[in-house]
Amino acid sequence: MVRVGILGASGYGGAELLRLLKAHPGVELVGFSSRKHEGRPLSAAWPQLWDERPFASQEEVLERADVLFLALPNGLAMGMVPEALKAGKRVIDLSGDYRLPPDVYEAWYGIPHQSPELYREAVYGLPELHREELRGARLVANPGCYVTAATLALAPLAAMGALRGAMVVGLSGVSGAGREGEGTFFAEVNENLKPYKAGGTHRHIPEMERNLGRLLAQGKPARTHGEVREVRLSFTPHLVPMTRGILVTAQAEVAGDWSQKALEELYRGFYASEPFVRVLAGLPETKGTYASNRVDVKPVYEERTGRILVFAALDNLVKGMAGQAVQNLNLMLGLPEDTALPKEGVWP
């Protein structure tokens, strides 16, 4: 039994980690921390949990665990990871700290990087593209919800070298904004729908471009620190009045002639052996992935215009966050990749 711990267990990502790791047969949850709730029982912060164990301090969790999940705001992991690695721990970081080259990170996040040298060691935690690298990783940079959806939507076209650009529309439930977010009051969100950070300003854009640029340069599988070709995306996120779920609707700009048949063959082939990616006959809907680690994908060729659209749906807190982190854990530990991860959702 591997000893695992969670830093940042009072956010929604932390809650999903708790749910998944408590039911994981290969690990022992030895600690979880939250500054806000330290010393209080888990059930006081989380009404869904029947568990009176107290939140520990970060120090206690760091000491007890062999594998650490960092579910902290951006900018905190980079200060802790060096010591944790030195102490022989392995780390799965759910923040943006190790997902981008430090200079790009600093440009988009506005935070000076405290351990840029470790970026070279971090493995990008998207199992569908980086599975082999992840098996031996000590430090995993776990991608977020929009990026996972957009990357998996466009990856087959990128890996074959056809992708030239894309306009990505992202639609997200509110839980992606976290448990403390402003502007997430029910009365303001319910019966409302709004774009935000339009105009190419969302900080997940460089990560999407990097993921697809790696595939363009390297094909699949891609190495985190291998060659990257330049590609430019538009990405426009929208807030939708629901709690969970991400849908990406992408228009792919591609080279070559296409048909619905060719597209489907490409996608079915690309994801043929993936345990968590389903290429649908129909169109994806977010509820089909609710509380599961699955992604539903569908490419559509539009005869009238020659355009290619791709849709991808997932649960932003599972495959878009905590479930992906557990998938990475399973790879790191050499366990079956789907251990403790549901492939099927809760409906209705």
**φ, ψ at 343 (rounded to 5°):** -95, -15
C-alpha to C-alpha distance for 261 and 126, rounded to whole angstroms: 27
Q: Is 315 helix (H, G, I), strand (E, B) or coil?
A: coil
Beta bridge partners of 165: 232, 253
> Would you say 170 and 149 are in contact if contact means Cβ atoms under 8 Å apart?
yes
* Binding-residue pattern over the window 323 to 342 for a copy of itself, x denoting contact by CB under 8 A: -------------------x
What would the two tokens of residue 295 be?
């992604």
Q: What are phi and psi of 138, to 5 degrees?
A: -95, -30
Q: Which of 83, 120, 185, 219 binds a copy of itself (CB under 8 A)?
A: 185
Which of 2, 85, 111, 242 touches a copy of itself (CB under 8 A)? 242
Within positions 122 to 151, which residues make up the interface with a copy of itself, using CB under 8 A?
none
Q: What is the residue-wise DSSP string for 41-79? A: BHHHH-TT----PBPB-HHHHHHH-SEEEE---TTSHHH
The catalytically annotated residue of 145, 147, 155, 212 is 145
We find the least distance from the C-beta atom of residue 185 to a copy of itself, in angstroms, to be 5
User: Min. distance of Cβ 84 from a copy of itself in angstroms?
Assistant: 28
* In the complex, minimum distance from the CB of residue 82 to a copy of itself, in angstroms, rounded to a whole number: 33
- Binding to a copy of itself in span 272-291, by CB under 8 A: 278, 283-291
Residue listed under structure tokens 């199992």 = 127
What contacts 68, CB < 8 A, 6 or more positions away? 4, 5, 6, 7, 61, 62, 84, 89, 90, 91, 92
User: How far is 7 from 97, CA to CA, in rounded Å?
Assistant: 15
Give the x-and-dash track for 20-59 against a copy of itself (CB under 8 A).
--xx----------------------xxxxxx--------
Q: Please give the residues from 298 up to 317 whose contact with a copy of itself meets the rule CB under 8 A.
A: 300-305, 307, 309, 311, 313
Nearest distance in Å: CB 11, a copy of itself: 11
Determine if 198 is a binding residue for a copy of itself (CB under 8 A): yes
Please tell me the distance from the alpha carbon of residue 118 to that of residue 311, in angstroms, as a whole number.
34
Q: How many residues bind a copy of itself (CB under 8 A)?
A: 81
Tell me if 243 contacts a copy of itself by CB under 8 A: yes
**For this structure, is 128 an active site residue?**
no
What tokens does 116 get? 């840029």
Containing 253, the helix (H) or strand (E) segment is: strand 246-254
C-alpha torsion angle, residues 195, 142, 246, 313 (rounded to 10): 140
Q: Out of 202, 204, 214, 244, which residue is the one contacting a copy of itself (CB under 8 A)?
A: 244
Least distance in angstroms from the C-beta of 294 to a copy of itself: 7
Among 158, 162, 171, 331, binds a copy of itself (CB under 8 A): 171
Distance CA 163, CA 148 (A): 17
Q: Does 103 bind a copy of itself (CB under 8 A)?
A: no
Find the binding residues for a copy of itself in span 246-275 (CB under 8 A): 247, 249, 251
Selected binder of a copy of itself within 4, 6, 7, 15 (CB under 8 A): 15
Catalytic residues: 145
